[in-house]
Amino acid sequence: MEAEEALSPLTANAGFLLSRVGAAIQAGFKELLAQWATRPQQFAVLSAVSAAGGASQQDLCRVLGIDSGNMVELVDTLEQRGWAHRHRDPFDRRRYLLAMTPMGMSVLAAMQEAVGSYTARFLEPLSQAEQEALAATLTKLYATTPEGERLPPRPEPARRP
């Protein structure tokens, strides 16, 4: 049996293709972040804190789906690197808030630029319209996952004329 014949049923299976494309992009994403000795979860925490202008560790656990024990280690590492810092919530002294440092904002900007370039290269075979359709379709699928169900619904992007 030829390899092409053996793969034929798999390449017609959307689940299989999504898993293989996901594995490929994840491997490249991890390799890219390794330049900063950073893991995807650390990148996610930095991105979420930056977007929110600060956040509590509990909120980050809930939104990002990260176990509280793992969050402590992630935040400890970000603090040790000087990329983020914890401080008491002035309205609730029992809570700690995580905020970005200027160095953290600079590092995150460099990471986001590299991730954007990587994503653009990965999606290069698709037209702009295909990329937008893919993102819309993946957003719908993601919303049905346990992780996606924890997030508030995103507004539909405005259609271009």
How far apart are the C-alpha atoms of 110 and 22, rounded to whole Å? 23
Q: Is 45 exposed, middle or buried (0-12, 13-18, 19+ CB in 10 A)?
A: buried
DSSP conformation class of 35: G
93 three-state secondary structure: strand
- Looking at residue 91, its pLDDT comes to 87
Neighbouring C-beta atoms of residue 23, cutoff 10 Å: 10
Dihedral, 33, 37, 41, 46 alpha carbons, nearest 10: -90
User: Is 123 within 8 Å of 129 (Cβ atoms)?
Assistant: no
| H runs (alpha helix) in the chain | 3-11, 14-33, 40-52, 57-64, 68-80, 102-123, 128-143, 146-149
How far apart are the C-alpha atoms of 117 and 2, rounded to whole Å? 37
Low pLDDT (below 70) residues in the chain: 1-8, 150-161
- Looking at residue 153, its pLDDT comes to 57
**Structural domains present in the chain:** 29-123 (1.10.10.10)
Long-range pairs of 31-34 with CB within 8 A, sequence gap ≥ 24 = 32/114, 32/115, 32/118, 33/111, 33/115
